[in-house]
């Protein structure tokens, strides 16, 4: 039995939050030189400017859990679409550094919220047999958004750069308003999460959504009962304490997964891709084009991972990805250590990006959306996203400072961290493929 059109359509629309997440994350990579000139930024202030969105992202990811439980996953996605739109236009029209930082902060709120709500919503509407590949559509869209940002930056700088002058960099930010508006209006055709509806005692509406999207069992009454049992509202509430012993295992798993994701250095590479290639001797046009190649590589390997994640399993993808990380980061560190070998650096970064798309990139949001019980999933997803973005801010802020003195040291540090991830996957990480959300809760020993 294949996923039906309602399920596929709702997944694609919700995952547009991921596309905007990826676009917003990567678009600034092509504007760092302009930002430095426009606002007379030091390396420290450039790092702060890039990280300004991440401050919003950290706050957005941490704050969105409660509202998602109160108002529903879909309602919050509407709000995030508005934030994306306002941020895109605001950054394009920013009249000074403070205005730019404020609008990037608003975009960060949207990115942080989307990193929580988009994969959580998809996980809650998807049957277990399709959940991995459908939640991974969010990551596919994140990567597609990154590629579109790189490609958009390349087209604007190469085709219209002479005519637009410094306004080209404003256009790089402004084009995001179009997909943000599309995201807002398409959300009207998506249903609410059936698990959120059950938590609100709206069982008849939840049953209707399950009928449209598909269920884990042939008997919808049994499905509703399983969801009600996992919520166990007789003994639990949506507002019960989250940081307690019974949730310790999924909390530690989510924090480790999210922390390792950023300790790979992935977002340092994405934010500063053209700058990294320039450090190795590439010209501006060449650096922009190589950024497109990096984005395309990640897209291809994310697609491969999406196809096999529900058969190959989350843990195996992480094992292969960890090994690829170590090889790619080791090569990049060696390229810089030996004087900036441009071809070795490009090949190493492509191996690194492929490993991310095939491993952590495809798995992180799937895994974190699966391991928490229904009653605390919003807060668990928020914790995972908060950890991810807090580490992201630290890595992206420090990378220009470290790279300015010795680029190889940054990549060597990330490589050592990925050795640690490999050990964690081998020793600790459980497999969650093909298991209903309610059964995963039981297997983790959560009552």
What domain count does the chain have? 1
Q: The whole model's pTM is what?
A: 0.75
Q: What is the pLDDT of residues 45-97, one digit of tens each?
A: 877 787 788 788 889 988 888 888 889 889 999 999 999 999 999 988 888 88
Which residue range forms the structural domain that includes residue 433? 5-443
Under the banding of pLDDT at 50, 70 and 90, the label for residue 150 is: confident
Measured distance CA(382)–CA(391) in Å, rounded: 14
271-285, 304-318, 406-420: segment of lowest average pLDDT: 271-285
Q: What is the pLDDT of residues 356-401, one digit of tens each?
A: 989 988 899 889 988 888 778 888 888 998 898 888 878 877 777 7
Question: What pLDDT sits at residue 222?
Answer: 72
Helix 32-39 × helix 167-174 angle, to 10°: 120
> Residue 186 to residues 191, 232, 247: CA-CA distances in angstroms?
11, 34, 35
Question: Residues 345-352: contacts with CB within 8 Å, 24+ apart?
Answer: 345/276, 345/277, 345/280, 346/277, 346/290, 346/293, 349/269, 349/276, 349/294, 350/293, 350/294, 350/297, 351/324, 351/327, 352/264, 352/269, 352/324, 352/325, 352/328
pLDDT at 280 over 70: no
What CATH number is associated with residue 163? 1.20.1250.20
116-130, 209-223, 405-419: segment of lowest average pLDDT: 209-223
pLDDT at 175 over 80: yes
Question: What pLDDT sits at residue 288?
Answer: 61
Q: What is the pLDDT of residues 117-136, one digit of tens each?
A: 888 888 888 887 777 788 87
pLDDT at 205 over 80: yes
Rounded mean pLDDT, 212-231 = 72
Provide the percentage of residues in the chain whose pLDDT is more than 90.
21
């Amino acid at each position: 039995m294949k996923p039906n059109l309602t399920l596929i359509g709702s997944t694609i629309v919700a995952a547009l939050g991921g596309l905007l997440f990826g676009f917003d994350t990567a678009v600034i990579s092509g504007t760092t030189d302009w930002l430095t000139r426009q606002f007379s930024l030091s390396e420290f202030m450039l790092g702060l400017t890039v990280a300004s969105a991440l401050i919003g992202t950290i706050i957005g990811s941490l704050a969105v859990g409660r509202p998602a439980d109160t108002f529903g996953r879909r309602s919050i996605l509407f709000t995030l679409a508005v934030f994306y739109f306002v941020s895109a236009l605001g950054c394009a029209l920013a009249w000074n550094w403070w205005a730019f930082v404020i609008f990037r902060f608003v975009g960060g709120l949207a990115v942080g919220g989307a990193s929580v709500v988009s994969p959580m919503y998809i996980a809650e509407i998807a049957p277990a047999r399709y959940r991995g590949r459908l939640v991974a559509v969010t990551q596919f869209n994140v990567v597609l958004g990154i590629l579109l940002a790189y490609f958009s930056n390349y087209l604007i700088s190469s085709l219209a750069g002479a005519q637009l002058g410094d306004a080209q960099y404003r256009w790089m930010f402004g084009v995001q308003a179009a997909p943000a508006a599309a995201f807002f209006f398409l959300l009207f055709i998506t249903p609410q999460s059936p698990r959120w509806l059950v938590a609100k005692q709206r069982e008849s509406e939840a049953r209707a959504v399950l009928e449209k999207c598909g269920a884990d069992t042939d008997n919808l009454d049994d499905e509703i009962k399983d969801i009600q049992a996992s919520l166990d509202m007789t003994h639990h509430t949506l507002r019960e304490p989250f940081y307690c012993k019974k949730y310790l295992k999924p909390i530690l798993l989510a924090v480790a997964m999210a922390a390792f994701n950023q300790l790979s250095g992935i977002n340092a590479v994405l934010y500063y891709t053209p700058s990294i290639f320039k450090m190795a001797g590439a010209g501006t046009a060449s650096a922009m084009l190589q950024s497109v190649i990096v984005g395309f590589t990640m897209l291809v390997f994310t697609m491969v991972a999406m196809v096999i994640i529900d058969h190959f399993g989350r843990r195996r993808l992480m094992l292969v990805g960890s090994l690829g990380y170590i090889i790619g980061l080791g090569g990049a560190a060696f390229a810089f250590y030996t004087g900036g070998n441009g071809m070795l650096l490009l090949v190493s970064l492509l191996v690194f990006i492929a490993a991310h798309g095939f491993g952590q990139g495809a798995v992180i949001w799937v895994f974190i959306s699966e391991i928490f019980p229904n009653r605390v999933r919003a807060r668990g997803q928020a914790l995972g996203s908060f950890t991810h973005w807090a580490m992201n801010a630290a890595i992206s802020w420090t990378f220009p400072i470290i790279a300015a003195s010795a680029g190889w040291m940054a990549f060597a540090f990330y490589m050592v961290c990925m050795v640690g991830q490999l050990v964690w996957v081998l020793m600790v990480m459980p497999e969650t493929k093909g298991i209903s959300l309610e059964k995963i809760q039981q297997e983790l020993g959560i009552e």
